[in-house]
């Protein structure tokens, strides 16, 4: 599994859960947080600010982007091609702006949200 944005809130949750499930995890973050995600249990780390890290990408059954449109890098663009033949990216069935946070929570609370794709 590759987690892009492994040092953020969603990334650290995903990382700890993946380790609990004994998944092999590559975490991607900035240089200031490398040690932090290593302490959380990544098997490998990649620095998104270093374009030389692109050569260290492997193939992954799951690529999780925890930063979305908020940040991009040359490494992030290549991560999309790092999926195995049967790999997948998690799916969000809807996105809400901050102004519609109440509507978003209502949608989730009513059990309508959909998560991982097939």
Cβ atoms within 10 Å of 107's Cβ, excluding its own: 15
Instruction: Report whether pLDDT(20) > 90.
Output: yes
52 three-state secondary structure: helix
Write the pLDDT tens digit of every residue in 25-74.
999 999 999 999 999 999 999 999 999 999 999 999 999 888 876 677 88
> What's the pTM?
0.74
| Rounded Cα gap, residues 54 and 52, in angstroms | 5
Degrees, nearest 5: CA angle 35-73-61 = 70
Write the pLDDT tens digit of every residue in 81-103.
888 888 877 656 677 788 888 88
């Amino acid at each position: 599994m590759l987690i892009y944005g492994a040092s953020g809130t969603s990334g650290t949750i995903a990382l700890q859960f993946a380790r609990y499930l004994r998944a092999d995890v590559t975490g991607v973050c900035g240089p200031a947080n490398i040690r932090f995600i290593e302490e959380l249990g990544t098997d490998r780390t990649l620095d998104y600010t270093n374009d030389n890290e692109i050569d260290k990408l492997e193939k992954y059954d799951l690529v999780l982007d925890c930063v979305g449109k908020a940040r991009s890098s040359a490494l992030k663009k290549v991560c999309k091609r790092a999926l195995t033949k049967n790999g997948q990216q998690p799916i969000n069935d809807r996105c809400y702006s901050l102004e519609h946070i109440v509507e978003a929570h209502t949608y989730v609370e009513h059990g309508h949200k959909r998560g991982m794709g097939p």
